[in-house]
Amino acid sequence: MNISFGMITKEITSAEPLDEFLDNAKRYGHEIYSVVIAHSGAANPDAIREIEERVPVHLVKINEADEMCSALEEIGMSKEAIKTLVTCEHLNDSGLVGYGKNRNNVLMKAMLTGSDILIFVDTDVYPKLLVETVNGVVKQEIDFIGEHMKYLSMDSVMITTSDYSGYYIIPPMNFGGMGQLFKGLQKDNVCDFLQAGMEHHCFVPANYPDRKPFTTNKILGGNVAMKLSIFEHVLPFFSSVYEVDGDKYLTRGEDTLLGLELERSKTLNCMDIDLRIFHNTYGHYPQIPDVITDEDIKNRFYYACMGWIGRNPFLNWISKRDVKEMHQMQRKALEVGAPAVAKYLNDDRFLKLPEALDASYEHLDTMIEQYHAMSKSWKEFIAKYKNWRDEYESAHYESLSTGRVRQRHLHDESSQGTEWARP
């Protein structure tokens, strides 16, 4: 099987952490077929060259993916469907690209270039575990690909994933009204952990060596391996961009849809392999995060809150909850929680949270339309892709996985070359 790494990022500044994942794969005897990166900003040519010296690299630059668009048109897709899946209308005015669109561009590129297994890693994760020992926390290297493939080799397992070790994505905090804040953010389950966080600083260790894998529908986009054939049966990632007071925000939870698709399936399984790789959440591990004094951490938490608020209406709608009732309950909670966290962090931006909640529910109809458009376009892509793949394999008497297709240019999406007539 052809195993590729996938990554999404705004800018490609260095080879890290892909170089560490490639080192890890080599150390344990795994051959990597390619690296696929979706980005919307600049790409450091030295960083690309460093990776390319080891493995083929495919770049997809959002809104400049002319080779990708041409390839999709060549296999028979309509320009409307291509535009839905590939281009981002918000990029030019806001600089934002939805997480779902980013990941789906990587998926399509990997499929068109002959990958069988795609492993997504984020820009701030590493193939090590943070393990608590009697001598303190140590970094334990593991056979990252081998552990994922151990479970993917099972016929019924189509996706493997796991959480992270390191500091949790919500930094340590404790204040009156915190329960109402997280109730309004639809993150009620984190409160007990956060209240104890003043002792453990919201540090999450890895379970090692006694791991406990289990079936799940919770997918973590920075630590997930997928048989790409699964996307012939389920819809991929999905998220949106919504507006509050003239500013645009990314909705989080792009893997929510995929998780629900798997939950409804009786034959397609996802395993949490309990392989909590190191997440350098705030970029300065092992320094303890301080959300009150560190503006970067405060900003990260603010945008996370806005992202959860943006996600929740769609999550509630697709989960068949009473959307109006959820909106009323969450707004009542945020009317208490928002001023409480704004006072605790001395940051008036958090006072916007109830307004953001209203905006996100007003955006729900648009998000549902986007979901249906994505669903229709993805099904068209899969139908055209399967037909094209079958024709290729019949003509060449070999599997598409030989990787001889779409290898003309390793830097596929450079700014040079023929311009595709965008719809």
Q: Are 185 and 350 in contact (CB under 8 A)?
A: no
Position with higher pLDDT, 104 vs 196: 104
Q: 403 pLDDT band (50/70/90 cuts)?
A: very low
Position with higher pLDDT, 113 vs 407: 113
Print burial letters for 271-304: b (CB count within 10 Å at least 16), e (below 16): bbbbbbbbbbbbeebeeebebeebeebbebbbee
For the stretch 329-340, pLDDT in tens is 999 999 999 999
Does the pLDDT of residue 411 top 50, yes or no? no
Q: Max alpha carbon distance in the chain (Å)?
A: 68
Can you tell me the distance from the alpha carbon of 262 to that of 256, in angstroms, rounded to the nearest whole number? 10
Place of tokens 């809104």: 63
Position with higher pLDDT, 405 vs 282: 282
pLDDT at 276: 98
**CB atoms closer than 10 angstroms to residue 117:** 21
pLDDT at 334: 98
221, 25, 249: which is closest to 106 by C-alpha?
221
Output the average pLDDT for the chain. 93
Overall average pLDDT of the 94-119 stretch? 97
Model pTM score: 0.94
Q: Are 136 and 213 in contact (CB under 8 A)?
A: no
**CB atoms closer than 10 angstroms to residue 410:** 15
Q: 402 pLDDT band (50/70/90 cuts)?
A: low
